[in-house]
A and B are shown apart, each in its own frame.
Chain A
Amino acid sequence: MLLFILKRLGIWVPTVILVVLGVYALAFYGAGDPIKLIFMRAPGDVAYDPVRIEAIREQAGLNQPFLQQFANYLFNALRGNFGNSLVSGRSVWSMVAAAAPVSFQLGLLAITLTAIVAVPLGMIAGMNQNSRLDYAILGAALLVWAIPAYVAGPLLMVFLITVLPGAAVPYGWGGIFDARIILPLVVLSFQPIALIIRQTRAAVIEVLSEDFVRTARSKGLPESVVALRHILRPVLTPIVTQLGLIMISIVNGAIFVELVFGLPGLGRLTVSALTGSDYPIILAITVIGSFLVMASNLLVDVLYPILDPRAADTRSGR
C-alpha cells in the first residue's frame, strides 16, 4: 500500500512541476519584460534610466536564464512567496490569503450541498427508472447542467427579487451563516449536482441487476433497507472518483459566481488581475487551482483501493 502511494507520488510530483512550468513559461514569454511591466505600464510613465533598470534587473535576478528563474519561482512558491502584484505592489500571497477563505468556504459548502442533494435524487431516479419521477429529476439535472452560472445567477437574482418583495439583494459577503450566501451557493452547486445525479442514477441502474440485490429482495428485506445497505455502498464508490471533476467545475464556477454576487474570493481576484494584466496573480491562482484539482485526483487514486478492495490489485499494477 505504501509502495503504491509512493509510486503514485513519483508520477504526480513531476506532473505538477511540469504544469507549473508550462504556465510559467506562457507568462514568461508572453508577458514580456517584467521590468517594463512594473515600471513602464504606460508610455512615458517613468524616466527611462538604463543603468538603474539594469541594476534592478540584476538585483531581482531577472537576468538569469529561464530555468534558473523558474527554479527560483518554484522554490519561493513552495514557501508561499509568489512575488508582488504588478498593479498594487502588495505581496501576491497576502492578496490570495485574504481571498482564499471566501472561496474555500463556499467551495466546501457546495461540495457538501452536492453530496446531500445529488446522491439521494440520483438514487430515487435510478430506482424508479423510466418513471415520471425519473424523467423529472433527469430533466432538471440536464437543465441546470446546460445553463451557465453567469446566466443562472442573474436570472435567479431578478426572479428572487421580483417574486419576494422586500428580499435583500444577495450581493456581498457576510460569512457562511449569512442569508446572502444561499443564492451563490445554489448556483455554484448546479453543475456538480447535475453531474452527480447522472452518475448516481447510472450506477444505481447497474447495481440493481446484481445478484446480491435480488438476494436481498428475495429475503424479504424492505425496499428502504435494500436501498441503504445494498445499493448505496457500491454506488458511492465510483462517485468518489468524480471529486476531480467536481473540483474543476467549482473552481471554474467560482469565477462567475463571485463576480455576479460580489463575493471577495479568488474568482473575483482572477478577473480583476486579468483586466489589469497582473501576471503574478494570474500565475499564482492558476498554480493553486491546478494544484487543488490534481491533489483531489491524487486523493481519489489513493483512496480508491481502500474503498473498493477489488481495484487494489489492478491499481497497484500487479
Chain B
Amino acid sequence: MTTQPATAPLRDDEPPVNLWRDAWARLSRNRLAVLSLAIIGLLAFVAVFGPWLTPFDFLSQNLDARNLSPNWVHLFGTDELGRDVFSRVVYGTRTAFVVAIVVTGIAATLGVILGALAGYLGGPFDRFVMWFTDTTMSVPQLLLVVVINASLKPPLVNFMEAQYEATKNGFFRNAIIIDFVLVFGSMALILWPPYARLIRAQVLSIRSRPYVTAARALGLTTPIIIARYIIPNAIGPLIVAISAGLGNAMVLESAFSFLGVGVNPPIPSWGNMISDGLQVWRNHAHLLAAPAIVLGVATIAFSFLGDGLNDALNPRGRK
C-alpha cells in the first residue's frame, strides 16, 4: 500500500518553489540589482583580501613619489606623503565594511528585539518604545551623533585609561580601538529606531494570524512564539531594511570621518580621504576623485540592491 501525497505532486521539470528560490529568480531578472550585487561582492572581496591584493602598504611613504597622477604603478596615483592611493582606498573599503556590518548588526538586533517586544506586548511598553523611536527619528541624525560622540568620548577615554592602569595591557592604550568603539556605539544608538518600527508593524500584522493563535493555544511561551513564528515571517522586509541600512551606515561612517569624528588617521577611511582631498583638489584632483567615486558607486549599489530585494521579497507588493 502506498501513501498518497497530501498535495498535488510537482512536475518533474519544475523545481519546488519557496520564498528564497522565488526571490532569487526575481532578483536575477533585475539587471540593475544583479550588477549592484556584483559590485558589492567585489567590494566585499577587496575588503577581506585587501592586504594581499595591494601592491603597496597603505602606510608606507615614498617621498620621491609624492602627488603622482594615476599611472600603471600607482593606479590611483599617490598622495602628498607618497602613499599609494589605491592601497588606501582598498584599506578604506575594509574600514567601511567593518563599520557597516558591525553597526548594522547592533542596530538591527536592538531594533528587532525592542520592536518585536513592543508589537507583541502592546500596552505602556509599546507606547513608550514608539514614542522613543518617534522622538529619536525627529532629531536630525547628524547632530545627535555629534552630541553622542562628543559626550561618549571623555568617559570612554577615562575608562580605557583606568583599565590600562589596572592591567598594564597595551590593548587599552590603542587609540584605534577607542575610535571604533565610539563610531560603533554612537551610530548604533541612532540607527535602531527604523528597525524597531518596521518589526513592530510586522508583528502587529502577523500576531493576529491563525498560526500564531494556534501556537499560543498549544501553550508556547511568548519568547518562543516571537523567535519561532513571528521573526521568521517578518524576515523579508527586515532583509530589505538591512541591505539599505548597510549602505546607509557606510555613508554615515564616511560622513563621520569627513567631519573628523570617525575613524582617525592613519587608518584610511573613504570619508577622511575625501576630507583630505578637499584641501588639495585644485592641484591633485585624483586624491578627491578616487575615494569619492568609490563611495558613490558603493552607495548607489546598495541602494539599487535594496530596491531590487524589495521587489523580490515582497510578493504582496507586486502587481
Interface residues of A (CB under 8 A from B): 15, 18-19, 23, 26-27, 29-32, 142-143, 145-148, 150-151, 154-155, 157-158, 244, 247-248, 251-252, 255-256, 259-260, 270-271, 274-275, 277, 279, 282-283, 285-286, 289-290, 293-294, 297
Contacts and interface: CB of A to CB of B under 8 A. Distances in A.
B113 interface: no
Most buried by B among A15, A260, A290: A290
9 contacts: A30-B155, A142-B300, A148-B251, A155-B293, A252-B143, A256-B255, A271-B259, A290-B138, A293-B138
Given A30-B154, A155-B289, A293 B296 contact: no
A255 B259 contact: yes
Contacts of A148: 251, 254-255, 295-296, 299
Contact of B260 (A30, A154, A275, A285): A275
Contacts of B146: 270, 274, 282, 286
A31 B142 contact: no
Contacts of A256: 255, 258
Interface stretch (B63-71, B214-222, B229-237, B273-281): B273-281
A87 to B, nearest CB: 13
B17 to A, nearest CB: 27
A133 B289 CA distance: 30
B292 interface: yes
Contacts of A145: 303
Interface string B136-166: 0011111110111111111100000000000
Interface string B96-131: 000000000000000000000000000000000001
Interface of B: 131, 135, 138-144, 146-155, 247, 251, 254-255, 258-261, 271, 274-275, 277-278, 281, 285, 288-289, 292-293, 295-296, 299-300, 302-304, 307
A293 B289 contact: no
A290 B137 CA distance: 10
Nearest to B155: A30
Contacts of B303: 142, 145-146
Nearest to B258: A150
A150 B274 contact: yes
A286 B281 contact: no
B141 A297 contact: no
Contacts of A255: 142, 259
Contacts of B141: 248, 252
Nearest to B152: A30
Contacts of B140: 247-248, 251-252, 286, 289-290, 293
